[in-house]
Amino acid sequence: MASKEAAVYILDLGASMGEKRHGREVSDLDWAMEYVWDKITTTVATGRKTALMSVIGVRTDDSDLAGIMPVDDGYENITVFSPLKQWLLSDIRGLQGQVKPSSTNNGDILSAVAVAVQQIDATTTGTTGKPLKFDRRIIIVTDGRGTLDTGDLAQITSKLKDYAPPVEVVLLGVDFDDADSGYKEEEKDAQKEDNETTLKEFVEQCDGNFGTLAEAIEQLAIPRIKDVRPTPSYRGTLTLGDAQTYDATVTIDVERYPCIMIAKPPSASSFVVRTDLGGVGASAQSSNTVVGDDDHPMDGQLSAVRNQRVYQVDNPDEPGEKMNVEPDDLERGFEYGRTAVHISESDANVVKLENDPSLQLVGFIRAEDFERFMSMSRTNFIVPQKANAQAQLALSSFIHALYEAECYAVARIVVKQDKAPLLVVLAPHITPTYEALVEAELPFEEDMRRYKFPSLDKKLTISGKTITEHKDLPNAELTQAMSDYVDALDLSEYDKDDEGEPTDYAKIEDTYSPMLHRVNQIIRWRATHSDPTLPLPDPPQILTRFSAPPPDLLQQAEAQLETLKQAADVKKVPPKTKGRGKRSRADRDKPLSGLDIDALLGNPKRVKIDANNLVPSFKQALAATDDLDAIQDAADAMAAQIRTLIRASVGDSAYGRALEALRVMREELTELEEPEIWNVFARELKNELLDGKLGGDRREMWWMVRGSKYGLIDRKRCFASDVTEEEAVQFYK
């Protein structure tokens, strides 16, 4: 269970925070809020009720301590914006309208710390007067340009250290001098310099942390890794031999924990727009969702929904109608061909495999015989049972035995009662700090895919002769050029450590999931920027750092790349263009050799549509001309053949050919940017099908056209079309 947290943010909202300094394009307050919003939105995203937050403003125009203490002398110009509570999105939006520079510089940061201590004490103290178990934290963000009252500094420090654990004080200074980072603000006024010294000494006495705001914002780009509390997926024994039958067996108490598990980005949930806010509009509730009356509104405009599943069958008493059935009345069945086989509950219990949780050794294999592709699951650690010295000694001996023998163990594991058994491989893993078995799932025979692929370095003739030199096989020059290029892009010695020695490139601890952290970044950003017209921020460079090879390494390998291109005889292929307006058809279809194939073969420029070769002949007819009249003639001939197929079809026997011809005709005319030719034909064909003008009732063919979405070509599909998206949708009705 996650620990309880209580964090109070003290924000300096003095008039001096509204100024832009040192060439920054934003005010000091807006710059500081980049850090504060990131921290607040990250906490809100966890959704934890035990993560309490509060925000206190100092050097504000008004004074409001929210009843924490009376506004006595020394506590003026301090405003408590929120009690210490769990924050929601509505709290973030509410704070945005309140955080702005004031018109005064009066107010004491240390007095605001005293208010924060009093607020923490009132919230995190039990009814018996004993402090509850909380991680307490006070974050101070200031430019240090106000006045400080140090009269009660010793009492405040003592109070902060009385808690167990002590209250963590974090000071983030705007343009504060920092010896560690080497920053020093030029032409600093004396009062700011004295305040910086006082605040740093205060934080040091509280055993807190100090940092400059610039350093804190720079570290925001580094993704924060979520700490996951280890949860065992198996607690039991690792056995060698049948302990129920034989005495000469080995039994070790072990536990199983995840080693590698995919971290998935947050997924979007379904919500409905609240229509009760404006009093106008239709209900957003659908037939399969129910809006929760007691659910918290999301963003003030969205409400959560609950799914409601209904089972229906055909009503035998009223043909064409459905009737609801209860889930308890349902029976299990399995598909058998095009039918279903009923399996009753009693039969299902008979065929169910009854297994007890266990981890049983089956045998051993040499480590070199284990192929890397055999691992088909996430990996887990097998470790000895906690506080069991005998199990620790036994498993350590087993791990070292496997390591010294260079072997892996194969085991059968059943994680839970009556779960399907799995075969796993156990590999020894020894580090200076711990020892464990790494477990990965092995495939069964049905899981293997034994595909055959052609060889890349030889060819076999029909007679069985092996050919190693062929135009489709790499020669020695090409192989050497590729080898040199790969060596030039070697990353194993690309990166250097602090001493200039080669080190690993793209270490695991330096690589982060771009999808996971990008989605989280946008969620946090959108929480504080509700305007949908604002462009999304670019992803941090640390997420895209390894998305491409290092530019300087590519530059070093340019010579090897050119050699490789020459050895492989690489030629640039002209890009494929669409539409008659981009390039002429003669230029577009002209072969690289420059020869006119049609002229050499004596083919005519106008191709007749052949009923026995409908699709290829239609494509050839379009490819042979740029003339609009010729395209219209080819389309008319194709349309006539489609009508003939439908009219002569016995039942739906020719509907498949007609549907394929419709698809090709629609795609080709779309590519030629002549949607009007198709749209005229589509409207005529629909009327003919529904009016029975093509040899009787052909409505089934219309339903096939409608289901395949072979309707009008709208502007979204082709810019030359005059049909809107709404008209294209209405066409199917």
d(CA 717, CA 725): 9
Domain end, chosen from 418, 447, 476, is at: 447
Residues 610 and 724 both lie in one domain = yes
**102-148 pLDDT tens trace:** 999 899 999 999 999 999 999 998 888 888 899 999 999 999 988 89
- When the pLDDT of each residue in the chain is averaged and rounded to a whole number, the result is 86
CB 112 within 8 A of CB 93: no
- Based on DSSP, count helices (H) and strands (E) in the chain, helices before strands: 21, 26
Residues 691 and 594 both lie in one domain = yes
CB 608 within 8 A of CB 634: no
| Separation of CA 480 from chain center | 40
DSSP secondary structure letters along 638-658: HHHHHHHHHHH-STTTTHHHH
Domain end, chosen from 416, 447, 478, is at: 447
Asked if residue 304 belongs to a domain, the reply is: no
| Residue 558: both structure tokens together | 């340019």
Could you tell me the pLDDT band of residue 455, with boundaries at 50, 70 and 90?
A: confident
Residues 99 and 24 both lie in one domain = yes
Mean pLDDT, residues 659-668: 91
d(CA 419, CA 234): 12
Residues 166 and 244 both lie in one domain = no
**624-661 pLDDT tens trace:** 877 888 888 889 999 999 999 999 888 888 888 999 99
Residues 74 and 128 both lie in one domain = yes
Identify residue 395 by its one-letter amino acid code. L
Region of poorest pLDDT, from 238-247, 414-423, 475-484: 238-247
pLDDT tops 60 at residue 232: yes
CB 701 within 8 A of CB 647: no
Residues 46 and 189 both lie in one domain = yes
Mean pLDDT, residues 553-564: 93
Contacts of 5 (CB under 8 A, 6+ apart): 43, 48, 50, 51, 52, 134, 135, 136, 137
Residues 388 and 500 both lie in one domain = no
CA nearest neighbour of 380 among 266, 254, 265: 254
d(CA 418, CA 409): 24
**275-312 pLDDT tens trace:** 554 443 333 333 344 444 444 444 556 677 778 889 99
Residues 698 and 550 both lie in one domain = no
Residues 470 and 533 both lie in one domain = no
Could you tell me the pLDDT band of residue 712, with boundaries at 50, 70 and 90?
A: very high
Residues 76 and 10 both lie in one domain = yes
CA nearest neighbour of 240 among 440, 426, 376, 420: 426
d(CA 124, CA 53): 12
Asked if residue 293 belongs to a domain, the reply is: no
CA nearest neighbour of 228 among 265, 266, 260: 260
CATH number at residue 384: 2.40.290.10
Asked if residue 494 belongs to a domain, the reply is: yes
Could you tell me the pLDDT band of residue 243, with boundaries at 50, 70 and 90?
A: confident
Residues 555 and 621 both lie in one domain = no
Domain end, chosen from 191, 220, 249, is at: 220
CB 630 within 8 A of CB 604: no
Asked if residue 47 belongs to a domain, the reply is: yes
How far from 282 is each of 274, 278, 286, 601, CA to CA, in Å?
10, 11, 11, 66
Instruction: Please give the tally of structural domains in the chain.
Output: 5
Asked if residue 102 belongs to a domain, the reply is: yes
pLDDT for 16: 92
Its domain, for residue 19, covers 5-220
Per cent of the chain over pLDDT 90 is: 43
CATH number at residue 624: 1.25.40.240
pLDDT for 253: 95
Residues 38 and 66 both lie in one domain = yes
Before 549, cis peptide (omega within 30)?
no
pLDDT tops 50 at residue 355: yes
pLDDT tops 70 at residue 21: yes
Contacts of 115 (CB under 8 A, 6+ apart): 56, 65, 68, 69, 75, 78, 80
